[in-house]
Structure 1
Amino acid sequence: MIPALALYGIEKRFGPTPILRGVDLAIEPGERHALIGPNGAGKSTLFNLIGGGARPNAGRIHLFGADITRLAPAAIARRGLARSFQRTSVFARLSVFDNLRCAAQLTERDRTRWWQRLSGAAAIDARAAEVLDAVGLGARRDVAAGTLSYAEQRALDLGIALAGGAHTLLLDEPTAGMNRAEAARAIELIRDTTAGRTLLMVEHDMDAVFAIADRISVLVQGRIIASGSPATIRADAGVRAAYLGERLEQGSAARAGDAADDGARR
């Protein structure tokens, strides 16, 4: 089977400083894959290369077998790969529905000639409405996107990618900045809406990683040191020593603190 997303020997330097040191990674169609690692490991740089925001110094990036290494972001998006950023990228002055409609219209534009688009408005509206309900923003349909809460804007970001017809999604820290309840809803939303799609996610919240990912890769100092199922990664002594043990301990301490706060309020 041809991988949905494949990286071959990816290297990236900024001046004399190496950031990525020969990254190889293959993600199967429909797989939900998490990329974890400490700050400065090169995760954001790798995302930027995949999305076309920069070029690697060496190596190739393939999307369903097609070489996209040197394509511009717009050309990559037209091939079905969408990326969300750590900061939301919605059109703040447009309504929630119109944000989704714009994404759906761009997809329709690629499939039809100009005289056919006039008759395609109903299909565009139907697609936008379908995604609106899927991301749980039906009640916010007509409000300006800029007035949404942060968690709602992240949901809209995801909806824009879905309305645009993306089959491969890059999610950059999708639960960052959320409280526990918001993060739990975001995790459920991602699991529900990405079923059947290929997902590569960078995330520091280990609860989110283990709840969403089918497979996990660990990036440390620009190299992938391990890849495997969540259970395999959790049990890997090298991963725990390099990164995961510290994160699990931090997560346990945070959960213990939350429990203590809940008890005190009672």
Structure 2
Amino acid sequence: MSVALQLRGIEKRFGATPILRGVDLAVRAGERHALIGPNGAGKSTLFSLIAGERRASAGRIELKGVDTTRLSSAAVARRGLARSFQTTSVFARLSVFDNVRCAVLASRLGWAGCVGRWFGSRDVDARAAEVLDAIGLAPVAQHAAGMLGYAGQRALDLGLALAGGAHTLLLDEPTAGMNRAESARAIELIRTVTAGKTLLVIEHDMDAVFGLADRVSVLVQGRVIATGTPDAIRADAAVRDAYLGSGFGS
């Protein structure tokens, strides 16, 4: 199976403080890969490096075999990677439809090109409508995004990541702040709308992780200490000691 995302020896330091200490990770094309670990392990920092928002201090990042280590976030996005964040990033005053429409335009023209091309594109409108239908928000397309409930805004965040047709998605804690029922619905939505895409997801809800992921990697103190199937990670003594706890799954 081909590799969609390859990290080799990734290091990140802030001043003299090491955050990531030689991260090696391979995410296979089309798989759902979860990244778990305690707070402060470096998970979100790693996402920001992959997405081109920050620069690695050392190491190499490849997206479908192309070195993206020093590319800008816009250039990485054009290569087919999209990211959602821990907190919702919607434009609250715009309609749900226009939020997605803006994301489609940005993926094609860049944010600077959106202003002059805001109106008159049937292709963009059709793509936005397709995304809204997929994430279940078509009935509220004309509502202000800020009027959506929390779960609805998280679904819209997912739609914004999908809008440009990216082949690889980074989802940062997509079920954060949700109750158990909302989390289950969110995971089912992710499973459905990301079919055929490569997914790397940070998540603290272990039910969500083990219900969604094909493979799981564990990041502790800036290092990947284990990668394997959910069952293998659940049974790994080192992972239990470092993160899951001795009573997990018992």
- Could you tell me whether the CA contact under 8 Å between 1:206 and 1:247 is conserved in 2? no
Task: Give CA-to-partner distance per residue, 1:98-151, whole Å, 9 cap, x none.
Answer: 1111222234448xxxxxx89982222221111111101122110011111111
Q: Which residue of 2 aligns with 1:183?
A: 183
Deviation at 1:2? 4.2
Q: Which residue of 2 aligns with 1:146?
A: 146
- Could you tell me whether the CA contact under 8 Å between 1:206 and 1:248 is conserved in 2? no
CA RMSD, 1 decimal: 2.1
SS of structure 1 residue aligned to 2:8: strand
Query: Which TM-score applies when normalising by structure 1?
Result: 0.87
- Could you tell me whether the CA contact under 8 Å between 2:77 and 2:107 is conserved in 1? no
Q: Which residue of 2 aligns with 1:126?
A: 126
**Greater Rg over alpha carbons, structure:** 1
| CA–CA separation in structure 2 for the residues paired with 1:4 and 1:226 | 19
Q: Which residue of 2 aligns with 1:6?
A: 6
- Any unmatched runs of 5+ in structure 1? 111-116, 253-266
Instruction: Give runs of aligned pairs for residues 1-266 of structure 1, distance below 5 A.
Output: 2-109=2-109, 121-245=121-245, 248=248
| CA–CA separation in structure 2 for the residues paired with 1:91 and 1:156 | 10
- Any unmatched runs of 5+ in structure 2? 111-116
Deviation at 1:246? 5.8
| CA–CA separation in structure 2 for the residues paired with 1:124 and 1:247 | 50
Deviation at 1:198? 0.5
One-letter amino acid matched to 1:99? N
Deviation at 1:248? 3.2
| CA–CA separation in structure 1 for the residues paired with 2:67 and 2:133 | 35
| CA–CA separation in structure 2 for the residues paired with 1:246 and 1:197 | 34
Q: Which residue of 2 aligns with 1:261?
A: none
- Could you tell me whether the CA contact under 8 Å between 2:35 and 2:217 is conserved in 1? yes
Task: Give CA-to-partner distance per residue, 1:225-254, whole Å, 9 cap, x none.
Answer: 1000101111111111111226837xx8xx
| CA–CA separation in structure 1 for the residues paired with 2:21 and 2:126 | 45
One-letter amino acid matched to 1:188? E
1:43/1:246 CA distance change after superposition, 3 Å: farther
One-letter amino acid matched to 1:96? V
- Could you tell me whether the CA contact under 8 Å between 2:34 and 2:200 is conserved in 1? yes
- Could you tell me whether the CA contact under 8 Å between 2:135 and 2:189 is conserved in 1? yes
Task: Give CA-to-partner distance per residue, 1:71-113, whole Å, 9 cap, x none.
Answer: 1111111111111111111111110011111222234448xxx
Greater share of helix: 1
